[in-house]
Structure 1
Amino acid sequence: MPESAPRRRPRLSDQETRRRMLDAALALVEQDGLTVGLDHISVEDVIQRAGVSRTAVYRRWPYKDLFHADLLRELARGAAPASAVDEEATRRLLGSVLDGRAAEPATPQGRHDLLTEMLRVSAADDFEAIHRSAGWRTYLALQATFLSLPDGELRADVGEALRLSESRFVDRVARGWELVATALGYRPRPEAGGGFPLIATLACASMRGLVLMALPDPELLTRRVPANPTGASTPADWSLIGLAAAGIGVTFLELDPGVTWDDERTAAVRALFAGP
């Protein structure tokens, strides 16, 4: 019997072609990370991965630069630097800190020691997760790529998308600080000049700076400093990002005099950090 004729690929609309191509390119970036620029993203490789017609692709994007411009917009809109940190894992980590300090929430010094230890362990854990995250490296590369774009519509689009992404990230970090601080009976110091959004902005800046420094110098990731930056009951070995977080905490937070601590509140805090 004669060989059957090859089945023709169903014709896709322009929007379907666009979506498949961008999704395939996003998957390549997620897999390999992004360098400064997109020259390493081959349109032909993306066509094969997307399973779309070459003719349709070049009808949609006559020039490679046009496809790369749309991909940059897509990457910037979807940029999510905070996704490197698993919120549930962080909650479990903080719960383990609380489990080892059963009696401490009952006293102001005990709660201060708890907050200190939570800052110390969670900052180091976040730093390690972010340092090894391809998504974070892509986000940092996007920032650098944005700086190289000439003035015009593409630069404006990418800049606005990155601004919104950064705002989402800072909001998420602010909620994390607020969750831990208020649970332990702390509030922003009124005279410090700002609340949790400002705290989060400074914490994010410290994290980003150390991540950038640690890319060529991984020793910064493992470096520990014997210290007691918050006046806790005992010193400990601190990561560099932990010291930065502690400095921010000491500057901006104080025990809330309006909080009454009792067994019911202690139980609520344990339930909060125990998770589902």
Structure 2
Amino acid sequence: MGQDTPGLSGVTRRRRRLSDEETGQRMLGAAIDMVSRAGLTVSLEHISFEDVIREAGVARSAVYRRWPYKDLFFSDLLRELARSATPATDARGEAAVELVRRVAREHLDWLRTEDLRRALLAELVRQGARQDFDTLHGSTEWRTYIALHATFLSLEDGDLRDDVRDALAQSERGFVDRISRSWQHLAELLGYRLRPELNATFETLAGLVLASMRGLAVTALSTPDIATAHLRARPFGATEDAEWSQTALAVASIAFAFLEPDPSVAWDDTRIERTRQALESPVSD
């Protein structure tokens, strides 16, 4: 129902009644904001329906006209959360791209030999995997994403379960696609290719890397040492001992199982200069 509000002249006027669609958008938007701030548990029981109404700033009568029962609202909220689910904030985003560019620029002389290029790839993975894990482990969005998968498993067969499954699958495909493009760009930059005998794709590589990282991140929720444990080591052709996280060791093991130097790439002065320019030029959208 509309409410009276004072106008500029002091005469009250009726506030425009929100449409059913607008009420729905405000309610779902307010609930999603609440989940983004606090994260999602395996259920939606920690989200108060009355709190959502207050935060959305809509009339209770309009809300109950759209959702006569609270369960109907929470079903729609679960669908909306699944559609907008993101596995992690900025994983393989701007910060990750800048890290790759910075580390590679610091070791441009490593581009001249195959052994040093391998060492450079190992160093990029060592630092990048640690940064990606820290982003994932500390991300509210990621914990919500994991909780959505757990919630999906508890849903009974029906339209809601099908809708949530399809939305999560679409989100996962989009995330794997972004990660795979990052790996392909890195491989091409350093003159690497997928091992032909594997008959694999960069999506395969990205999926295994994500599975490994998520498994460690989930375990770290109950075993925090996983997030902080490091080994002093010099694996994968690294030039010197360094601190390797468990995530970095896992990701590098997968990467070097899939990648090998591309024999068609000639590392002459022209190629090295072109790579240097690519690393120093602004990042394109």
**TM-score normalised by length of structure 2:** 0.91
Q: Deviations over 1:20-73 (max 9, x none)?
A: 110111100001110111111111111111111110100100111100000000
- How far residue 233 of structure 1 moved from its aligned partner, in angstroms, is 3.0
Q: Is the 1:222–1:239 Cα contact (8 Å) retained in structure 2?
A: yes
Give runs of aligned pairs for residues 137-152 of structure 1, distance below 5 A.
137-152=143-158
Residue 118 of structure 1: aligned partner: 124
Secondary structure class of the residue paired with 2:232: strand
Query: Is the 2:41–2:144 contact (alpha carbons within 8 Å) kept by the matching residues of 1?
Result: yes
Pairing of 1:197-276 with structure 2 (within 5 A): 197-274=203-280, 276=282
Q: In structure 2, what is the equivalent of residue 153 of structure 1? A: 159
- Structure 1 segments (4+ residues) deviating >4 Å: 3-8
Matched, 1:13 2:13: no
- Gapped regions of structure 2 (runs ≥ 5): 1-5
SS in 2 for 1:225: strand
Aligned-pair CA distance for 1:6: 6.6
Code of the aligned partner of 2:115: Q
For 1:56 and 1:150, locate their aligned partners in 2 and report how far apart those are by CA, in whole Å: 29
Structure 2 residue aligned with 1:172: 178
| Residue 175 of structure 1: how far off its partner (Å) | 0.7
The 8 Å contact of residues 90 and 122 in structure 1, kept in 2 or not, is answered as yes
Match of 2:113 in 1: 107
Match of 2:76 in 1: 70
Among all aligned residue pairs of Structure 1 and Structure 2, give the percentage whose two residues are the same amino acid.
51
Match of 2:135 in 1: 129
- CA drift of 1:121 comes to 0.3
Whether contact under 8 Å (1:92, 1:274) holds in the other structure is: no
How many Å apart are 1:8 and its aligned residue? 4.4
Q: Which sits farther off after the overlay, 55-64 or 262-271?
A: 262-271
The alignment's C-alpha RMSD in Å is: 1.7
SS in 2 for 1:83: coil
Quote how far apart the aligned CAs of 1:275 are: 5.5
- The code of the aligned residue for 1:93 comes to L
1:106 and 1:261 in contact (8 A); partners too: yes
Matched residues in 2 for 1:156 and 1:92: separation?
39
Identify the range of structure 1 (206-215 vs 263-272) with the bigger mean alpha-carbon deviation: 263-272
Instruction: Look up the SS of the partner of 1:62 in the other structure.
Output: coil
Q: 1:271 and 1:138, CA in 2 relative to 1: closer, same or farther beyond 3 A?
A: farther
Unaligned runs of 5+ in 1: none
What amino acid is the match of 2:147? A
Tell me the residue number matched to 2:3: none
Aligned residues: 274
Q: Quick one: structure 1 residues 32 and 104, their matched pair in 2 at CA, closer, same or farther if it must change by over 3 Å?
A: same
Secondary structure of 1:130's match?
helix
For 2:40 and 2:90, locate their aligned partners in 1 and report how far apart those are by CA, in whole Å: 15
Q: Corresponding residue for 1:35?
A: 41
Give yes or no for contact 2:193–2:259 (8 Å, CA) kept in 1: yes
TM-score, structure 1 normalization: 0.94
Q: Tell me, in whole angstroms, the C-alpha distance in 2 between the residues paired with 1:87 and 1:263.
A: 30
Asked whether the equivalents of residues 89 and 139 of structure 2 are also in contact (C-alpha less than 8 Å), the reply is no
What secondary structure, in the 3-state scheme, does the structure 1 residue paired with 2:41 have?
Answer: coil
1:127 counterpart letter in structure 2: F
**Aligned-pair CA distance for 1:269:** 2.5
Query: Any conservation in 2 of the 1:91–1:275 contact (CA below 8 Å)?
Result: no
CA distance in 2, matches of 1:122, 1:272: 19
1:95 aligns with 2:101: yes
In 2 relative to 1, CA 184–176 (structure 1 residues): closer, same or farther, beyond 3 Å? same
Per-residue deviation at 1:246? 0.9
Q: Could you tell me whether the CA contact under 8 Å between 1:178 and 1:196 is conserved in 2?
A: yes
